[in-house]
Amino acid sequence: MQSVKPETEGDMGDWAADARPARRLVLPRFLRRPARILSRLDLRTPRYAGTKGMALLFAATAATGMVVGGHTTTVVSALTAWAGLGIDEVEISGQSETSEIDVLNAMAIGPFPSIVTFDAISARERVEQLPWVKRVTIRKLYPDTLQVGIVERQPYAIWQHDGAVVLINKDGRVLADHVDSRYAQLPMVVGKGADARAGEFVSLLEEFPSFAPRVRAGVLVSDRRWNVVLNNGIEIMLPKDDPGSALIQAVALDDGHGILSREIAAVDLRLPNRLVFRLTEAGYEAREALLKKRKGKG
């Protein structure tokens, strides 16, 4: 009697190797519907997808390199200049002492001058750092023109210090490191700190319009008081407080007796109610001769 071996589900022992049923992947119930929908779609790779993908990759890499390397503005400037928005003309007006070359250098337009990317605010700040420049306005006129309007500082006095002679404005800012003949008639101030106090000395002289042309310079002493040096070399030593009243006294003496035209080196007015003269060598000799003559007569 032949026995029959029962078949057990999943037992592959009696199947030939090439006749075994294929194992199937059974999806969970909630994934079966999406899987059927995807299987019906006609998913084909677009034509030239690889080429387009590589081009996109290169473009993204280039953009990232520009941003990381800080070259974005340069690239945009070059592209917009090439597109017709390059800076072709710069109109500068209002300056007389400031050269156009200095203005253009300060503006730093760059190798790819584009009116789109040009930073007018930063350029204005740089131009205003030039010695003579007080105020600047910069306007963009599309597509290719910049208008630059300049207001310059006015020379006010000549300042002598540490062996140098420079031109300054009313605030004491140095405008030029040389003084030409055009400004030779400006008031001169001498000494450390005299640049910042030049207005004080000029105001003092303005009270004496007929006397001012005889003044060569004002010397600031110890940053406290002024000595007035005349064209003939006489030095008038003024007090710290109320120098105007002391100078009135010196001018009155000169008007009445011509003191400031005699052989004296200095007039000391620093002490109230006291007037001290220092004679020149010639004046001292003349005084001694006069005293001897008087003694001989006596």
DSSP the chain: ----PPP-TT--TTS-GGGSPPP-----HHHHHHHHHHHHS---PPTTHHHHHHHHHHHHHHHHHHHHHT-HHHHHHHHHIIIIIB--EEEEES-SSS-HHHHHHHHT--SS-BTTT--HHHHHHHHTTSTTEEEEEEEEETTTEEEEEEEEPPP-EEEEETTEEEEE-TT--EEESS--GGGTTS-EEESTTTTTTHHHHHHHHHT-TTTGGGEEEEEEETTTEEEEEETTS-EEE--SS-HHHHHHHHHHHHHHH-GGGSSEEEEE--STT--EEEE-HHHHHHHHHHHHHHHHH-
Amino acid in the structure at residue 164 = A
Lowest mean per-residue pLDDT among 12-16, 72-76, 88-92, 186-190: 12-16
Lowest mean per-residue pLDDT among 81-90, 137-146, 286-295: 286-295
**Residue-level pLDDT at 170:** 94
pLDDT tens readout for residues 73-82: 566 556 765 6
pLDDT tens readout for residues 158-170: 999 999 999 999 9
Average pLDDT (193-205) is 96
Asked if residue 237 lies in contact with residue 227, where contact means CB atoms within 8 angstroms, the answer is yes
**Residue-level pLDDT at 63:** 45
Lowest mean per-residue pLDDT among 11-20, 116-125, 181-190, 228-237: 11-20
pLDDT band at 292 (very low <50, low <70, confident <90, very high): low
Of 195, 192, 236, which is closest to residue 212 (Cα–Cα)? 236
pLDDT band at 42 (very low <50, low <70, confident <90, very high): low
pLDDT at residue 60 greater than cutoff 60? no
Sequence-ordered list of residues with C-beta below 8 angstroms from that of 132, at least 6 positions apart, any chain: 95, 97, 98, 152, 153, 175, 176
**Residue-level pLDDT at 198:** 96
Termini Cα distance of the chain: 186
27-36, 68-77, 92-101: which is most confident: 92-101
Measure the CA–CA gap between 170 and 153, rounded to whole angstroms: 9
pLDDT tens readout for residues 201-259: 999 999 999 999 999 999 999 999 999 999 999 999 999 999 999 999 999 988 888 88
The C-alpha angle with vertex 122 and arms to 121 and 127, in degrees rounded to 5, equals: 100
Measure the CA–CA gap between 107 and 185, rounded to whole angstroms: 34
pLDDT tens readout for residues 94-137: 999 999 999 999 998 877 678 888 889 999 999 999 999 999 99
Measure the CA–CA gap between 147 and 115, rounded to whole angstroms: 11
pLDDT at residue 298 greater than cutoff 70? no
pLDDT at residue 54 greater than cutoff 50? yes
All domains of the chain in start order, with CATH: 72-152 (3.10.20.310), 157-297 (3.40.50.11690)
Of 192, 214, 196, which is closest to residue 205 (Cα–Cα)? 214
Measure the CA–CA gap between 237 and 266, rounded to whole angstroms: 7
How many residues belong to the chain? 298
**Residue-level pLDDT at 246:** 93
Q: What percent of the chain has pLDDT over 70?
A: 67
pLDDT at residue 154 greater than cutoff 60? yes
Torsion angle in degrees (nearest 10) through CA of 84, 89, 90, 94: -140
**Residue-level pLDDT at 121:** 94
**Residue-level pLDDT at 258:** 87
pLDDT at residue 155 greater than cutoff 80? yes
Measure the CA–CA gap between 57 and 76, rounded to whole angstroms: 20
Number of other CB atoms surrounding residue 9 within 10 Å: 4
